[in-house]
Amino acid sequence: MDLSLIAAFTIDWSWWGNLAQGILALGLVILIHEFGHFAAAKLCGVKVEKFYIGFDPYGLRLFRFRYGETEYGIGAIPLGGYVYMLGQTDNPGKQAEEAERARAAAAHGEAVDPEAAAVWDPRSYPAQTVPERMLIISAGVILNAVTAFFFATFAYLLGTDFVSAKVYETAPGTPAWEQSLGGGADFTRIGDVRNPRWDVDLRARVMLADLKKGLPAELKRDGKTEEITLRPRKDRTDRPPTIGVLMPRTTKLATIPKATTLNPDRIPAYYGSAAFTASPKFASGDEVVRINDVEIKSYDDVLRAEALHAGEPLTVVVRRSEPQPEGSTTAPPSKELTITVAPVKLRELGLAMEVGPITGVQDGSPAKAAGLAKGDLLKTINGEPIGDPLTLAERLRRRQHAEPTKEWTVVVARTVNGKSEDKTFTIMPRAADRNEWGFRDSSPVSVPTLGLAFHVKSAVAAVDAGGPADKAGIKPGDKVVSFTITPPQIEGASSEMLKPNTIPFAAKVGDDLNWPYAVLYGLQTKPAGSKVTLEFDGGKKAELTPRESAEFFNPERGLIFDVMTFDRKADDLGQAFQYAWTDTRDSLTQVYSFLHALFIGQIPASNVGGIITIADQAGASAGAGLPKLLLFLMMLSCNLAVINFLPFPVLDGGHMVFLIYEGIFRKPPPERLHGYLTMVGFFCLLGLMLFALGNDVIRLWK
């Protein structure tokens, strides 16, 4: 029996097509595994009675046929597969007993039970030596590992692309933000991997890193190479460790794969955004070359231009390639177009929330130099109260721009020996030319001029007279427990786009810190006309119509940029073998690392996925091209090989343990012990498979 289980690193539910392709991919890997058992059994002269993909309890199967002495089929339950050999039973003690009884009966000329005779038949499984049975049991795992290597070899001969390990954006308060890794820093080594890939090497190694020792890395920035230690951590108990970086982007606009009712021109911008409605229209593949007469050389320049000109129209110059006749081999001519994108006023609710403690201080920042620390509570800056924490960064940016050489006085409350004390710091702020909004829930608010980040609580601190919150009857002290955004009914929009989005504030650790995420991300990215429903502690509800701010702007205009990738294609077979060996080795060892991290709680159990997760990932890989599918099959083969060789009853590894016992003591393990362990193992694995399937269903439901 073989268990199909995999870590759910990412989920992208595009569904039925993915499901069908995924089941085929999983079936192929299981087929290879079972063929390993089958071929080894035949090599040892063992009669194989059944060869099934999927399980067929009580005869439940999709179809079957017989060829020679073996019945082949597909079972109705697609959770693995099996090879059934003559005389095979899950009870070796009974095998030995039956074999001895059958031999004794045959020696005295007595009639022999056919089933008992099969046990001592020379072509039966138990009649083979311990080394031969070890070969049969391990052959599936061995063949999975070997074919994983060749899947990867073929993928690298064809060549495929990977996301670059370059960092432009970091989330406020995260380890990468604290270490100032944004702005185009380029990882040249992660752990022991040179020229790492963001989507394969960086993400996986961060997730599985030793959280006490950190993860050694090499970074190239501004032409200089430096050795650093990454400090991954969990920002919530229900998530794996992270360092808080976004995928890097290029200056080229993304390709929109297909037209929709709301986006017939396939404009590379979010629906309803300023970039979406700009004229002339942006087009897939446009390369941004200048913004407001400033040359754009990297995505970092785009972020800087958006932040510095948030309240102004952006004059965006793009280079567009002219369409070429099909089959043309010449480089297409290009032209430059100028497109003006209007500023976007920030949507607000007319209230301010309570300020929480500082959660991070950036290396090399004014706050770090002055001595501010995690846990400090901001009280005043230059004698003025903090006000709305969501607009503090912009207010301070403007102040620093107006008086670039003036020092600030910052007062914080610091807890010392259990008592709160006010402490005053004199700080020389720095120029801030980047927007640093959090891109995930529970993200704190960043203050780039000081280099610190602080949390925002879910309790209302102040309400603007006559504003949306005041009209809805919201009072200071009200505590938000949920934030629901309901988009307007837009003709032609998908049900997913029109679906209300509820952001919780009390269900899990960190949810009570979701206010910046709800307002700065959730509300700003929904279509104009969206309504907000706030639910408060005690059952009180309020429906608000957001208003446009008269003073503050959303720096982002809605353009969608391509992810930065690089191609990796082997120059020859030897290099393909080298790439394939590295990937296969890493995939095999990372499964063990994942299981260890799962056991110690470093990775939440919710990250375990079952057949639906596998199918979805396989389908997504297939949609990205044959090389990506081959690399996914490599990873899946390694997962199947490692998991099935764990020393667990029912799995191949469990059978191997029993065979090692038999080889040492010259007899099978005691029948009662074997039976007990097998039964416990079966129900544990069944429970694990159902748990993984339950995680799949929860993700699908969400």
Closest CA to 300 of 225, 222, 399: 222
Q: Which conformational region is residue 184 in: left (phi greater than 0), alpha (psi within -120 to 50 degrees), or beta?
A: left
* Ramachandran angles phi, psi of 385, nearest 5°: -65, 165
C-beta atoms surrounding 261 within 10 Å: 10
Least confident of 2-11, 121-130, 619-628, 661-670: 2-11
Say how many C-beta atoms besides its own lie within 10 A of residue 396's C-beta: 19
CATH 2.30.42.10, domain 162-247, yes or no: yes
Radius of gyration in angstroms for the set of CA atoms belonging to the chain, rounded to a whole number = 31
CATH 2.40.110.10 fits 250-346, yes or no: no
162-247 matches 250-346 in fold: yes
Q: Distance (Å, rounded) from C-alpha 202 to C-alpha 164?
A: 10
Note the pTM of the prediction, 2 decimals.
0.84
pLDDT of residue 18: 62
User: What six digits make up the tokens of 623?
Assistant: 């949609």
Tokens 């089959």 locate to 327
pLDDT digits (tens, 9 = 90+) for 114-172: 555 555 678 888 888 899 999 999 999 999 999 999 999 999 999 999 999 999 999 99
Q: Is 199 left (phi over 0), alpha (psi -120 to 50) or beta?
A: alpha
Query: Which amino acid, 645?
Result: F
Q: Is the bond preceding residue 172 a cis peptide, omega within 30 degrees?
A: no
Sign of the CA dihedral with 649 first, then 650, 654, and 655 last: positive
Q: Determine the Cα–Cα distance for residues 424 and 379; give it in Å rounded to an integer.
A: 10
> Is residue 405 exposed (0-12), middle (13-18) or buried (19+ Cβ within 10 Å)?
exposed
- Cβ atoms of residues 83 and 8 within 8 Å: no
Residues forming beta bridges with residue 242, ordered by sequence position: 233
Is the pLDDT at 57 greater than 90? The verdict is: no
- pLDDT at res. 512: 81
d(CA 664, CA 670): 14
Query: Which tokens go with 139?
Result: 């052959």
Architecture in CATH of 350-481+509-519: Roll (2.30)
Rounded Cα gap, residues 206 and 217, in angstroms: 11
Domain boundary assignment for the chain: 6-159+569-701, 162-247, 250-346, 350-481+509-519
Is residue 13 within 8 A of residue 616, CB to CB? The reply is yes
The tens digit of pLDDT for each residue in 215-234 reads 999 999 888 999 999 999 98
Neighbouring-strand partners of residue 385: 380
**CA distances, 28 to each of 33, 71, 151, 629, 640 (Å):** 9, 19, 12, 12, 12
Tens of pLDDT, residue by residue over 288-340, are 999 999 999 999 999 999 999 999 999 999 999 887 676 666 777 889 999 99
Q: What is the enclosing helix (H) or strand (E) of 166?
A: strand 166-167
- What pLDDT band is residue 395 in, cutting at 50, 70 and 90? very high
Q: What is the pLDDT, as a whole number, of residue 131?
A: 93
CA neighbor of 393 nearest in space, from 440, 451, 339: 451
- Please, what is the Cα angle at 112 between 668 and 114, to 5 degrees? 75
Mean pLDDT of the chain: 87
CB contact at 8 A, 458 and 480:
yes
* Cβ-contact 135, 555 below 8 angstroms: no
Diameter of the chain by CA atoms?
109
To the nearest 10 degrees (0 to 180), the angle between helices 573-599 and 626-644 is 50
